[in-house]
Structure 1
Amino acid sequence: MNKNHYNVIGVMSGTSLDGLDIAHCTFTCSEGWEFKILEAETWPYPSDWVEKLRNLVNFTKSELLQLDEDYTRFTGDAISRFIQKHKLAALDAICSHGHTALHQPEIGLTYQIGNLPKLATILKETVVCDFRVEDVALGGQGAPLVPIGDRLLFSKYDYCLNLGGFANISFEHKGQRIAYDVCPANIVLNHYVGNLGFDYDNGGKIAKSGAVNELLLQELNALSYYKSHYPKSLGLEWVKSEIFPLIDSFQLSTKDILRTFVEHIAIQISNEIKSKSKTSVLTTGGGAFNTFLMERVSEKTKSVIVIPENPIIEFKEALIFAFLGVLKHRNETNCLSSVTGALHDHSSGKIYYS
């Protein structure tokens, strides 16, 4: 029999490479689901790990397999320290996304490192992980997976927008949850601001100082991905093959690249949001702290942009992967075919016991 209260840890590593997001959460099921984020922090990646994770698509199969072993140990060590620091006990599970190394669902491939059974052995806890593989095997995109959490935990908002490495969106349409990647976001902005020695553009100040290059903007907006119908998702491979070469061909200053790409993000998001009176858009992810980007999105969409308290902005994905693990533990649907295009809804992920 399923219980109605869960004490779990959620772990997420995204394409922005700022670190491992680790969140200690509780979930209670009564009339609906309620949650609390009790402790949460980002475990920064050392510079050598940033370099490795940034170049995963260039690794050979044998190199990736070794990196998987190493990353699983790194993840286990980080989570262990988090547990010790916060003196956590009586955990029901640790629910971890891993880090995406390869994502080409059109050929049936998705691979997240850090999801090996040894993670449960290292932690001496039950681990729920590897949430994407089953969906791809069922013909789905394996992404996005967060929308089941949007539906069950954040239903009062018309749209849930996440601005991480990629911008993705989630909403209800004719009784179905629809979600997909809209466009690249921080994965591009952070890449170019790195040329100036920064990890990110604080508040979007550098972008705001630049000028839009209309021709580059036009070519970005004309990319074929934006004309394709959902379900659809993006990966690092696509950014490296389509976005970076296009931007680099214009030989612009960094501030003009940032300004142009912020405009591109705002336009692509506005194309997806059907604004009505008081349309509410819950906005999370690192991009929510980019004041200039949020100004442009607000201006383009004409919607009410809701920016929640910091723990939800920063750790919503870790929270929801914790929730995905709870749903898997209960053998309940945690992956929606309306979102991913899989053959049917299913309860995705693997459970490893210590």
Structure 2
Amino acid sequence: MLYIGVMSGTSLDGLDIALVELQAGNWTLRDAFCASLPGTLRQELLELCQPGHNELARVALAEQQWVHLAANAINQLLTDLHLDASDIRAIGSHGQTVRHEPGAGYTWQIGNPALLAELTGITVVSDFRRRDVAAGGQGAPLVPAFHELLFAHPEQSRALLNVGGFSNLSLLAPEQATRGFDCGPGNVLMDAWIQRHHQLPYDAQGAWAASGKVHQQLLQRMLAEPFFQQQGPKSTGRELFNLNWLDRLLSAFPEVSNTDVQATLLELTAQSCARALLDTLKDCQQLLLCGGGAHNHALHARLGELLPGIEVLSSSALGVDPDWMEAMAFAWLAHCCLQGIPANRPAVTGASGLRVLGAIYPA
């Protein structure tokens, strides 16, 4: 069986399309493609993460653009691989998160699955998070269950650290329920800072951060944010960690250079993730990195320093490309929905029980 996973994360760095094959219980990446978001659409989606004017109409128009981009990429991928729409059992579409407020009882991912089904001729499964929120959960992260499927080991304790716009941990220990939670900012603040000062989409390999020095007082002020003291289940987003949050903290430290701010932001990501892991999986032997942050050499090295005795590797070392992990996960979530398989993990999200996630839009 072939599925397509569509993932557009909080980094807003592109729309990931993964063609995944299920054969004999194994999930294998067949092909993948990243569609760049037009600058105007990216900016509109960023602005929609905060309250603004005429939001309903703007959301409706933005999600139409998002869906046309996704459909064009999917149709092109099928053409390139000489596949028909009928060869694909379903598309699992995460959509694009514009608001995530589980404490207020809602999370909102736009992506018009009805239109995506029309434009591709393929059944679409979407809206994965809201059922978990309805059951009292955070609705995030959802990928730990997929990590469990791929990487759980009968004798070894492992953790998966996904570093996208935000970072989240999956904790896999033998004979224990899978746990996980959001750790805090991943790339979101580093990306925003380098975009502001160098007009670059991201800090390639963490080179700019590595050229600066960590400002310890600023770092401690950042780590004093109450989110970091909370225990999981917990999740976060741009509603909390954004440039306004950073600017408020920087107002007390006008002497800090832009380069040192970037170094401090990388240290914030590294320390918040390392502390979260050490506090929750004390016998961890291996940490696997996935998401765009897996390519940040400076972050990878710093995590290794903060986690002595734990082997820190890219998920590629175990055969799964870190760039496509989440898109693959939403292909799997589509399969679970169609098969009636619960795909949340209450120990991760805090939901009151296992739930089948997603809504189905037939071709």
Question: Which TM class, normalised by the smaller chain length?
Answer: over 0.9
Alignment partner of 1:98 is 2:95? yes
CA distance, structure 1, for counterparts of residue 243 and residue 194 of structure 2: 19
What residue number does 2:286 align with? 280
Q: Cα offset for 1:242?
A: 6.8
Question: In the alignment, which of 220, 240, 245 is matched to residue 242 of structure 2?
Answer: 240
TM-score scaled by length of structure 2: 0.90
What residue number does 2:166 align with? 166
3-state secondary structure, aligned to 2:242: helix
Question: In the alignment, which of 108, 126, 130 is matched to residue 129 of structure 1?
Answer: 126
* 8 Å Cα contact 1:327-1:333 kept in structure 2: yes
Q: Deviations over 1:46-86 (max 9, x none)?
A: 11111112111244233223323332233222222222233
What residue number does 1:147 align with? 144
What residue number does 1:66 align with? 61
Alignment partner of 1:268 is 2:265? no
Task: Please tell me the residue identity of whatever aligns with 1:229.
Answer: Q
- Cα separation, partners in 2 of 1:38 and 1:255, compared to 1, 3 Å: same
What residue number does 2:41 align with? 49
What residue number does 1:317 align with? 326
3-state secondary structure, aligned to 1:98: strand
What residue number does 1:3 align with? none
3-state secondary structure, aligned to 2:37: coil
Q: Deviations over 1:71-120 (max 9, x none)?
A: 22332222222222332231111111000011101111111111431211
Q: Cα offset for 1:247?
A: 4.2
Q: Cα offset for 1:184?
A: 0.3
CA distance, structure 2, for counterparts of residue 79 and residue 52 of structure 1: 23
Q: Deviations over 1:261-315 (max 9, x none)?
A: 1111111111122376771011111111110111111100121012133962100
What residue number does 1:229 align with? 231
* 8 Å Cα contact 2:167-2:184 kept in structure 1: yes
Q: How many pairs align? A: 346
What residue number does 2:352 align with? 343
Q: Which runs of 5+ in 2 are unaligned?
A: none
* 8 Å Cα contact 2:178-2:347 kept in structure 1: yes
Task: Please tell me the residue identity of whatever aligns with 1:308.
Answer: S
CA distance, structure 1, for counterparts of residue 267 and residue 134 of structure 2: 36
Q: Which runs of 5+ in 1 are unaligned?
A: 1-5
Question: In the alignment, which of 201, 212, 215 is matched to residue 213 of structure 1?
Answer: 215
Question: In the alignment, which of 9, 12, 15 is matched to residue 4 of structure 2?
Answer: 9
Question: Once structures 1 and 2 are overlaid, which stretch shifts more, 70-79 or 297-306?
Answer: 70-79
Task: Please tell me the residue identity of whatever aligns with 1:283.
Answer: L
* 8 Å Cα contact 1:69-1:116 kept in structure 2: no
Task: Please tell me the residue identity of whatever aligns with 2:264.
Answer: T
CA distance, structure 2, for counterparts of residue 263 and residue 182 of structure 1: 13
Question: In the alignment, which of 295, 299, 303 is matched to residue 301 of structure 2?
Answer: 295
CA distance, structure 1, for counterparts of residue 27 and residue 276 of structure 2: 28
3-state secondary structure, aligned to 1:181: strand
What residue number does 1:176 align with? 177
Q: Cα offset for 1:155?
A: 1.3
What residue number does 1:36 align with? 28
Question: Once structures 1 and 2 are overlaid, which stretch shifts more, 293-302 or 84-93?
Answer: 84-93
* 8 Å Cα contact 2:183-2:273 kept in structure 1: yes
Computed over aligned residues only, the root mean square deviation of the Cα atoms, in angstroms, reads 1.9
3-state secondary structure, aligned to 1:15: coil
Alignment partner of 1:305 is 2:302? no
